[in-house]
Structure 1
Amino acid sequence: MHDEAAEAVALQAGAPSDPVVVLFQSALIRARQLDKGNAQSGSLGNDFYILDIALWDDLGVKYPTRKKQWQGTLDELNKARNAIAHRNDDQLAKVKAGQPLNLRTFKKWRSSLHGAASDFDNVVGAYLKDSAAIGWQA
């Protein structure tokens, strides 16, 4: 989604073959945190902010009751993933104290993030549509 959004923003500056557009698009994704680590609420927010999209603020306006749930799910999932991947037994014990790491928990996380992805797409798409209609300016 971030790649597509970066492309849409860059194309507002000209034709796809224009070297300036290609350079602009490359600059928009160059320092992307998503390419270096896990998708955490902070990294998602920072990466979309480069595109002038206040992702979490916009999600909070459009989906106020779900925003906090999505951020919590991302945080919980990343803590569990990191504890398991890095074989950190102390951190894993803390994660398990908060919720059991079983199929039910993973299905809950998957359901939450599936809804988040769809609603992220709605928010990013609306932003891009509005920015194209008024002429995007950072």
Structure 2
Amino acid sequence: MRTQSWVYMLATLALVSLSQPAWAGPTTEKLAAEKVPLDEQGFVNAVSKLKRSEIIALLGEPARAEDVKLKDSGRVVASIWHYHNINKDEQGAFYPTTELDIIDDQVSVIVFLNNDGSDNSQGQTYEVQPYEGQPSVQ
């Protein structure tokens, strides 16, 4: 009986893995379905009010993440997240990378980069004010 459960679980995991590759980020269609604006200002207004967990629910896991942790507790106090090809500039071209800088579970800076994220010297940066209240995904 136990062997049958393991086989069933592995088969299910294989099917799920094939249907949605782990490396796949959010698609334009998914963002449109979730009503996430693709333009800079609309995206900033929508995402700046969200917590970490809400961003992941909306956009999925970031393509790249760097965390700053406290030595004593290991608690994550800041993160830099990169998503690829999810936002458009004023001419309608996709930015290769969107960077979210998160401090204490709140987005503090959003950067739209014209590269893969390894060089952040070029791009459009938005600093956002902390959101007071209970943010929610609309």
More helix as a share of residues: 1
Q: Which has the higher contact order (CA 8 A, sep 6+)?
A: 1
**TM-score, with normalisation over the residues of structure 1?**
0.28
TM-score (norm 2): 0.28
Q: Which has the higher strand share?
A: 2
